[in-house]
């Protein structure tokens, strides 16, 4: 008989903790949104362009240098292909940098798990 009130109490605490966690998470999201009001649709389109160019330019430079090397010093291996791959990798790192720099900043008080710290 004594066991039922204890279960109810634990269940109530669990529900309250989940509710509190959800409220805290939504409030953090709202505050972050208020801080980033200047990031509109145009900002997103601009970021899309920056990411595209940050991959395209190193790739094209790599291909151009590779073709030049292939014309000057022919070999068994295709420098154009190797430098194309290198250009794509450098471009992806470059794009990652720009997305990270222009993206949503992490909350200082967040522990990275998505929940309250």
Identify whether residues 95 and 51 lie together within a single domain: yes
Contacts of 61 (CB under 8 A, 6+ apart): 87
Task: Work out the average pLDDT over 36-54.
Answer: 75
pTM of the model: 0.53
Structural domain including 77 reads 39-103
To the nearest whole number, what is the mean pLDDT of the chain?
A: 80
**CA 50 vs CA 26, 43, 89: distances in Å:** 30, 10, 16
Do 2 and 55 lie in one domain? The reply is: no
What is the model's pLDDT at position 68? 96
Q: Is residue 62 very low, low, confident or very high in pLDDT (cuts 50, 70, 90)? A: very high
Please report whether residue 84 resides in a domain.
yes
Lowest pLDDT segment from 7-21, 39-53, 64-78, 100-114: 100-114
Residue pair 117/110 in contact (Cβ under 8 Å)? The answer is yes
Same domain, 53 and 80: yes
How many domains, in total, are found in the chain?
2
Helix axes 79-102, 41-72, angle to 10 degrees: 160
Rounded to the nearest 5°, which phi and psi values hold at 104? -75, 130
Cα separation, 8 vs 72, in Å, equals 81
């Amino acid at each position: 008989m004594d066991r039922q009130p204890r279960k109810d109490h634990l269940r109530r605490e669990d529900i309250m903790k989940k509710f509190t966690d959800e409220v805290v998470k939504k409030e953090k999201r709202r505050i972050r949104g208020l801080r980033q009001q200047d990031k509109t649709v145009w900002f997103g389109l601009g970021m899309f362009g920056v990411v595209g160019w940050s991959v395209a330019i190193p790739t094209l430079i790599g291909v151009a240098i590779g073709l030049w090397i292939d014309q000057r010093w022919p070999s068994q291996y295709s420098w154009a292909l190797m430098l194309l791959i290198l250009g794509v990798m450098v471009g992806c790192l470059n794009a990652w940098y720009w997305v990270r720099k222009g993206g949503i900043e992490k909350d200082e008080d967040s522990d990275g798990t998505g929940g309250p710290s």
